Structure 1
Amino acid sequence: MNICVFCSAADLDDRYVTPARQFAELIGKGGHSLVWGGSDTGLMQVMADGVQETGGRLIGVSVEFLAHKARSGADEMVVTRDLAERKAQLLERADAIVIMVGGTGTLDEATEILELRKHGMHTKPVVLLNTAGFYDGLKAQFQRMEAEGFLPLPLTELVFFAEDGVGALAYLEEQAGITA
């Protein structure tokens, strides 16, 4: 399975790095591929290292203005001209999407992916990985949107909230019909 991970390219605290590393290792050991923003910095690098070191494939999608940060040694690296094309390529190459901790870029990617899913433009499973409670506030906001009628489908059909990488991967493998 090609798992697209949206996450930060920033160097972060161990409370985010350690769980990311563990999740990356699960992806690699499971024989899955990481589809990611292609950067060799921050949490993106942690994910790529963990997946590659445990036997998984790396499919990077960078963007021209960040190409100097792209990881060499990826199994595949695409460089797009802008962020919109990058997001489209990431979604196209993915079988499933995991949204990890990140800043405004990650939030932009997450909302676009969820909006496309809401409108039936893709049916790929989406997981919001709530490491260290990072997305507690966003989860509460989504629950309010659902309760007050802003979502045309149940929240559980839009996104799955996982507290750790084990739960995230188990959900994705279940959705894909993969048994252990």
Structure 2
Amino acid sequence: MNICVFLSANDLADRYTRPAREFAELMGKGGHTLVWGGSDTGLMKVVADGVQETGGRLVGVSVEFLAAKARAGADEMVTARDLAERKRLLLEKADAVVVMVGGTGTLDEATEILELKKHGHTDKPVVLLNTAGFYDGLKEQFRRMEAEGFLPVPLSSLVFFAEEPVAALAYLEESRGEV
């Protein structure tokens, strides 16, 4: 399965890198392909290393203004003109999406895939990996949106919140019939 992972390119604390590395190793051992922003820095590097070192493939989609940070040695690397094209290509190449910890770019990517799902433009499974409670506030906001009628579909049909890497991958494999 091609799994798109949206995540930070920043160097982060062990409480974030350790679970990300664990998820990456599970992906690689499971024969999955990482589809990611292509950077060889920070958490993006941690995940790419983990996937590649355990036998998985790497498909990167960088963007022109970040091309200097693109990972050498990826199985495939594409450079998009801008962030909108990058998101489109990432989603086209993916069978499923995992959102790990990140900043505004990661949040933008997450809300775009959820909006596409909400309107029936994709049926790809989406997981928010809630490492160290990072997305507790967002989960609460989504629940409020659902409770107050802002979501025309159940929250559970849009996104699965996983607290641990193994649960995230298990959900994706089950959703894609790979169990």
3-state SS of paired residue (2:171): helix
The CA distance in 1 between the partners of 2:178 and 2:106, in whole Å, is 27
Query: Cα offset for 1:164?
Result: 1.0
3-state SS of paired residue (1:161): strand
2:38 aligned partner, one-letter code: G
3-state SS of paired residue (1:170): helix
Q: CA RMSD in A?
A: 0.4
Show CA shifts across 1:7-30 (max 9, x none): 000000000000100000000000
2:43 aligned partner, one-letter code: L
The CA distance in 1 between the partners of 2:82 and 2:164, in whole Å, is 31
Say whether 1:83 aligns with 2:83.
Answer: yes
The CA distance in 2 between the partners of 1:103 and 1:150, in whole Å, is 24
TM-score by length of 1: 0.99
- Which contiguous aligned blocks of 4+ residues in structure 1 show a shift greater than 2 angstroms? none
TM-score by length of 2: 0.99
The CA distance in 1 between the partners of 2:21 and 2:126, in whole Å, is 20
Aligned length: 179
Show CA shifts across 1:133-178 (max 9, x none): 0000000000000000000000000000000110000000000111
Which residue does 1:15 correspond to in 2? 15
The CA distance in 1 between the partners of 2:138 and 2:113, in whole Å, is 15
Query: Cα offset for 1:4?
Result: 0.2
The CA distance in 2 between the partners of 1:176 and 1:114, in whole Å, is 18
2:115 aligned partner, one-letter code: E
The CA distance in 2 between the partners of 1:109 and 1:175, in whole Å, is 21
2:116 aligned partner, one-letter code: L
Say whether 1:163 aligns with 2:163.
Answer: yes
The CA distance in 2 between the partners of 1:48 and 1:123, in whole Å, is 25
Which residue does 1:27 correspond to in 2? 27
3-state SS of paired residue (1:24): helix
Structure 2: give runs of 5+ residues left out of the alignment. none
The CA distance in 2 between the partners of 1:178 and 1:96, in whole Å, is 12
Q: How does 1:137-148 map to 2 (within 5 A)?
A: 137-148=137-148
Which residue does 2:58 correspond to in 1? 58
Say whether 1:2 aligns with 2:12.
Answer: no
Structure 1: give runs of 5+ residues left out of the alignment. none
